[in-house]
Structure 1
């Protein structure tokens, strides 16, 4: 592989990342309905991509399911948590009954993951200090960026070639190191000492697990990208799979330790 071809996707990736970071920054700073609305669009879009992977060539079915997810998610973002959970389950139930439930076992876990993790972002922004959300995003971005460059520059042994042929052990471990550095940076802000560094590495691993889970899904469904709406990144699911994995683990830990 030539040097130019190795870095061919860098330009589009950087340009798309700048746009997404600008939108994310505005949403996080604004909070409230704007933040909820942007997360709603992302969740609805990912749900649409998920449905399109399971029912290819049936655009209206995928659009219907994505729209249902968006409506339910936005409504849930305005409701008390207990009631919100019930509303979030509605589009997942629709996934389960599509084509008389023949694909429910495959598609429902992904639907649950998307809705729960998306709600985790809204809950983080509205219920906790915004610094926690910034930390989570920083961990995932650092993991992704460090993994990308270490994988390209160092290369070496593949992490899981059958599922994700581009991932290397060098990139994976570089992501953990970068996450630990982010944890150190945020220790003063979040006042959790070394525990935050450990948590940052766990969140990094969850982010990578989200990426691998989506890669496995795409391989099973026979698609390269979840869609093509983000230049250099593929689809929303391709770009936010790590965020979904990180948010899901953090939400789970909060639930466990608050019981």
Structure 2
């Protein structure tokens, strides 16, 4: 593998093509909303659970656990939140009883995955395509700014033992990009400029989701969660940032006026 300047960009073309395909599918699903978006979120979450189970224990009944997660998430989205919550936790408990090891990792991440899926569908249903688009933009801009700044600027590594490619320059660039998205969205919608701070916080949460997944992969000794997405690895590798951002937004929505300043 090349270690020169060109080597830093070897995967760019494949990543770009995959990103365009993922973006088109994602935008169409988000725009359509309703059942189409529900199916999209359920499929993505189920695949992430499947990848997680396979990473933690290749001999686990990963397909069955993904099926349980898909069923519970689907039903949960048709119930009032109080009745939905037990269903969002149940697949983690089922997996806890099936895995002979690394049960805590499976339990924590499965709960977060299902909460993220539930939160995304709730955001689309309650606030519409515009605010779901804001969340997607924050996470995507964080990732894109981090990718290019990290490779173009370089500099000190963020956490080399867990994620050797991530740099402080890329991390900070993600925050700046998210703040710009927040300011632009506030000016467009008339929301309070506090949205910039919320955007940076969501950006940080998405980075934590990325780091947490990297730590799991490092622990089990795999490079990618799967090979489903060329240039990106697995679905978990692609949506780990969205996982962190969506769960964070779901949690803080009870603490802040969201969207801020919008009647």
What is the TM-score normalised by the length of structure 1?
0.95
Match of 1:85 in 2: 85
Cα offsets for 1:43-78 (capped at 9, x unmatched): 0000000110111144xx011111111111111122
SS in 2 for 1:192: coil
In structure 2, the partner of 1:110 is 109
Q: Is the 8 A contact 1:218 1:224 kept in 2?
A: yes
SS of the residue corresponding to residue 66 of structure 2 reads helix
Aligned equivalent of 1:179: 178
Q: Alpha-carbon deviations, 1:64-111, whole Å to 9, x = none? A: 1111111111111222211111222221111121146x5332321111
Q: Which residue of 2 aligns with 1:246?
A: 245
What does residue range 101-140 of structure 1 map to in structure 2 within 5 Å?
102-140=101-139
What residue ranges of structure 1 are gaps of 5+ in the alignment? none
Secondary structure at 2:166 match in 1 = strand
1:12 maps to which of 14, 25, 28: 14
Residue deviations 1:231-255 (CA, integer Å, cap 9, x gap):
0000010000000100011000013
Is residue 33–residue 129 contact of structure 2 (8 Å, CA) maintained in 1? no
Q: Determine if the alignment matches structure 1 residue 64 to structure 2 residue 64.
A: yes
Greater Cα offset, 64-73 or 148-157: 64-73
Q: CA shift at 1:2, angstroms?
A: 2.2
Query: Could you tell me how far apart the structure 2 residues matched to 1:38 and 1:159 are?
Result: 33
Match for residue 28 of structure 2? 26
- Equivalences for residues 134-149 of structure 1 within 5 A: 134-149=133-148
Task: Work out whether residues 146 and 171 of structure 1, in 8 Å CA contact, stay in contact via their aligned partners in 2.
Answer: yes
Q: Tell me the equivalent position of 2:260.
A: none
RMSD value, Cα: 1.4
- 2:198 is equivalent to residue 196 of structure 1: no
Q: Count the aligned residue pairs.
A: 255
Measure, in 2, the Cα distance between the counterparts of 1:73 and 1:250: 18
Inter-CA distance 4–57: structure 2 relative to 1 (3 Å threshold) = farther
Cα distance in 1, alignment partners of residues 125 and 252 from structure 2? 17
Q: Name the TM-score, length of structure 2 as normaliser.
A: 0.93
Distance 1:68 1:182 in 2: 36
The corresponding residue for 1:35 is 37
What stretches of structure 2 of length at least 5 have no aligned partner? 258-263
- Answer whether contact 1:131 1:190 (CA < 8 A) is retained: no
Spell out structure 1 runs of 4+ moving beyond 6 A: none
Contact 2:178 2:199 in 1 (8 A): yes
